[in-house]
Amino acid sequence: MMHRYYFEALDKTLGDILRFEDVSNLDQPFGGKKIDLGGDFRQILPVITKGNRQDIVNATLYSSYLWVDCHLLKLTKNMKLEGNHESDLNDQTEFADWILAVGDGMIGNFVDGIGKVPIHNDVLISDCGDPISAIVNST
């Protein structure tokens, strides 16, 4: 995810450029142009060197003045599960539901301010004599 300043700079630039077409464009987000953004806001946060949690949250698009004008659309169908064999489909559906529940904060709890999420044994790599080779072999 990019720092919110990139979006705010684009907003101001488009407003400055497009105001010559119509003066009211200066007051509209992104100069009146529709901007589509894609991604999963739960997965990738901006990198703030030596930043704490508050610095990282303040760098997200959620913290921008532009967020009130954003319209959030959610995908409702997991396309990775389409066209798979029936035997794999149940395991993949269960895993996809678990991932969404973790992302929505419905699984796990906080202990000493740190989020704890139970992980299924079939996802864990238990043979850790050599961690690098264990990861390579499981992959």
Nearest to 5 by CA among 54, 61, 70: 61
Q: Where are the domains of the chain?
A: 4-69, 79-138
pLDDT digits (tens), the chain, 139 positions: 789 999 999 999 999 999 888 888 888 999 999 999 887 776 778 889 999 989 999 999 889 999 999 988 877 776 766 666 666 677 777 877 887 787 777 887 777 777 788 887 777 887 778 888 888 887 8
Distance CA 60, CA 56 (A): 7
pLDDT at site 101: 81
Global pTM?
0.61
At 111 the three-state DSSP class reads: strand
